[in-house]
Amino acid sequence: MNVLEQIQTALNEVAVGAEGRELTNELNLSDLGIDSIKYVELLVRIEELCDITFDESDLGMESLRNIGDLTALIEKTLSQQVG
Amino acid sequence: MSNKNIVENVPRYYETYVNDCFATAYGAVLAHKGFNPNIILADYLSFMFDPKTEYYGTTYMYRFSTSVAFTEAELNTSLEFAYFPQTTYFSERKDVGAVTKHKDRIHFNLYIDDDAEVAARRIEQLVDSQVPVATVVDLYYMSYHRAYQNEHGLHAVVITGYDNENQEYHLFDKYLLSSSDFDGVLPMQAIREGRLSDVPRNNPIIGEYRRPIRHLWMEFDADPDFRVTDEKIFALLRESYLRMSGQKGVFDYITGIKAIEGLRQSVLGYKEKPGDQAAAAYFKEYHNTCLKRVARSRQRFAVFIREVADKLPQESVDILLENLQEAGKRWDIISNIALKFAITKAHRMLDDMDRNLLALIEAESKVIEQLELCTKTTV
């Protein structure tokens, strides 16, 4: 699965109604019903799916607004942990 | 009775990641009265911890409350520029609007009344007098919010007008932090239901509970001679220093770094306990929420310091802002790790919380040093 597919899988489990939504970079997480609590739940699920650990400073929702931000964070974390 | 009236030009006050919904609503009404909310609503820098219950708070203890009515003592531990009389039943009030004591403070009057007509009529009187009204509703009845018909929650909004002909209230809710961004009209019936709600809640720690709103609203009165003085600004700094250095408690609770150390030991104590559902519930429902409140209090104090920076030594201002920002960030990170612990139940999260608590103790110790300097120096 690529990163976007992993996000979709995690979203389907965490956010009711996210299934079937087309994920674009501009799609806001808040429009998917993701609040600060669901956000951490989403990141924990992505950590499990991608076998990565996010930096603790990335757990806050403030810096991430949309799917594009989330994709960039996952790719950054993946590259750091592979490197 | 008038048919329609609107208060124009009420500032849509909001400070990102700083205030709760109450302060956001208060700020709009205070700004409309010509006061600077960033100073009037500045609360003391503080932290308190109760080792018996393991509850904590900043200027008041964070607990699951079942009422909106508080005593005078409970209400007056936070703000240097405000005085809260005890919550008053409006129909039994005396001297509405009279500032008879504490003339150096703006009076924040909290009113309740179980009679919907009395509460509605008071809103009309205030709006007719060109006064916007901060009032409390249950989000369950607010059609603009994602909690609508889904989740109950106490929330403060600002009513700026009414239209009896169309049975509508004009209001705004700019608490953007919880996805509130409304500025328009709503049916009076929705507001009536929202103000009368019992706000039924359920959480794993205390079970089912209710917190009836009883039409709670706030009125703000100031003596004509009220001014923000340097004396009061330094009193706020001094009280913050005394609390954070542990020299002055709030009620019987220990405060300051010693209290943060108490919280740290409490968190580490969970390493000896199983990461069960009860622990998970406590970290999700209590720690996650309350630690975020502490984080915001540090950002709020930084906003106050910026407002009064010209009265303080520049070097102290720089150190204060740097370390308040650092402390706020750490409290926020700990809050998120607490939630992660609740989800994963992994004990290594407790070590992560501990590491961040130690880092913020270092940052807040630097803040205390500068507060002591500031209270001894004037520019």
Across the interface, do A40 and B344 touch by the CB < 8 Å criterion? no
Bridge partners, B133 (sequence order): B159
Please, what is the average pLDDT of chain A?
Answer: 87
Question: Pick from B17, B146, B339: which is nearest to A40 by CB?
Answer: B339
**pLDDT given at position B154:** 92
- Please, which residues have CB within 8 angstroms of residue B326's CB and are 6 or more apart in sequence? B359, B360, B363
Question: What mean pLDDT do residues B295-308 have?
Answer: 95
- Residues on B contacting A at a C-beta cutoff of 8 Å: 17, 146, 178-179, 284, 288, 292, 329, 332-333, 336-337, 339-340, 343-344, 352, 356
CA distance A47 to chain B (A): 11
> Domain limits at B170?
4-42+79-221
Smallest CA–CA distance from B343 into chain A, residue: A41
Query: Pick from B152, B114, B135, B108: which is nearest to B216 by CA?
Result: B135
CA distance B112 to chain A (A): 31
What pTM was estimated for this model as a whole? Answer: 0.89
Q: Residue B1 pLDDT > 70, yes or no?
A: no
**pLDDT given at position B357:** 97
Are B190 and B265 in a shared domain? Answer: no
**pLDDT given at position B358:** 97
SS3 assignment, position B273: coil
Whether B71 is covered by a domain: the verdict is: no
Are B250 and B207 in a shared domain? Answer: no
Whether B326 is covered by a domain: the verdict is: yes
Rounded CA-CA distance A30/B184 in Å is 22
**pLDDT given at position B111:** 96
Query: Pick from B337, B242, B238, B339: which is nearest to B283 by CA?
Result: B339
Measured between beta carbons, the chain B residues lying within 8 angstroms of A15 are: none
Q: Which of B221, B253, B280 is the C-terminal boundary of a domain?
A: B221
Question: Six-digit token pair at B32?
Answer: 């409309």
**pLDDT given at position A18:** 76
CA distance A57 to chain B (A): 6
CATH number of A3-15+27-82: 1.10.1200
**pLDDT given at position B97:** 67
Question: What mean pLDDT do residues B173-193 have?
Answer: 88
CB B163 within 8 A of CB B4: yes
Are B258 and B213 in a shared domain? Answer: no
Q: Residue B379 pLDDT > 60, yes or no?
A: no
Measured between beta carbons, the chain B residues lying within 8 angstroms of A59 are: 333, 336-337, 339-340
Are B343 and B235 in a shared domain? Answer: yes
Question: Pick from A30, A33, A59: which is nearest to B333 by CB?
Answer: A59
CB-side neighbour CA atoms (13 Å) of B186:
23
**pLDDT given at position B163:** 96
Are B216 and B269 in a shared domain? Answer: no
Residue B95 pLDDT class (50, 70, 90 cuts): confident
**pLDDT given at position A65:** 81
Are B114 and B158 in a shared domain? Answer: yes
Q: How many domains does chain B have?
A: 2
Q: Residue A60 pLDDT > 60, yes or no?
A: yes
**pLDDT given at position B277:** 83
For the segment A33-46, what is each residue's pLDDT rounded down to a tens digit? 888 888 999 999 99
Whether B48 is covered by a domain: the verdict is: no
Residue B100 pLDDT class (50, 70, 90 cuts): confident
Rounded CA-CA distance A56/A53 in Å is 9
**pLDDT given at position B17:** 63
Distance of CA B41 to the CA centre of its chain: 9
Query: Pick from B52, B58, B54, B79: which is nearest to B256 by CA?
Result: B58
CATH of the domain at B101: 3.90.70
Q: Residue B67 pLDDT > 90, yes or no?
A: no
**pLDDT given at position B363:** 98
- Please, which residues have CB within 8 angstroms of residue B229's CB and are 6 or more apart in sequence? B104
Are B256 and B275 in a shared domain? Answer: yes
Please, what is the average pLDDT of chain B?
Answer: 92
**pLDDT given at position B114:** 96
Rounded CA-CA distance A50/A45 in Å is 9
Are B196 and B310 in a shared domain? Answer: no
Whether B353 is covered by a domain: the verdict is: yes
Q: Which of B199, B221, B243 is the C-terminal boundary of a domain?
A: B221
| The dihedral sign for the CA sequence B73, B75, B76, B77 | positive
Q: Which of B156, B186, B221 is the C-terminal boundary of a domain?
A: B221
**pLDDT given at position B162:** 97
Could you tell me the residue ranges of all domains in chain A? Answer: 3-15+27-82
**pLDDT given at position B2:** 57
Are B10 and B150 in a shared domain? Answer: yes
Across the interface, do A59 and B17 touch by the CB < 8 Å criterion? no
**Which amino acid is located at B338 in the chain?**
A
Q: By mean pLDDT, which of A21-35, B10-24, B318-332 is the weakest?
A: B10-24
> Which range among B6-15, B101-110, B233-242 has the greatest average pLDDT?
B233-242
| Percentage of residues of chain A with pLDDT beyond 90 | 45
CA distance B18 to chain A (A): 13
Whether B72 is covered by a domain: the verdict is: no
Q: Residue B204 pLDDT > 80, yes or no?
A: no
Distance of CA B290 to the CA centre of its chain: 11
CB B88 within 8 A of CB B111: yes
Are B158 and B268 in a shared domain? Answer: no
Distances (CA, A) of B335 to A59, B171, B341: 9, 32, 10
Q: Based on C-alpha coordinates, what's the Rg of chain A?
A: 12
Backbone angles phi, psi at B123, to 5 degrees: -60, -45
Across the interface, do B356 and A44 touch by the CB < 8 Å criterion? no
Pseudo-torsion of CA B62, B67, B68, B72, nearest 10°?
A: -70
Q: By mean pLDDT, which of B60-64, B93-97, B321-325 is the weakest?
A: B93-97
For the segment B304-345, what is each residue's pLDDT rounded down to a tens digit? 999 999 999 999 999 999 999 999 999 999 999 999 999 999
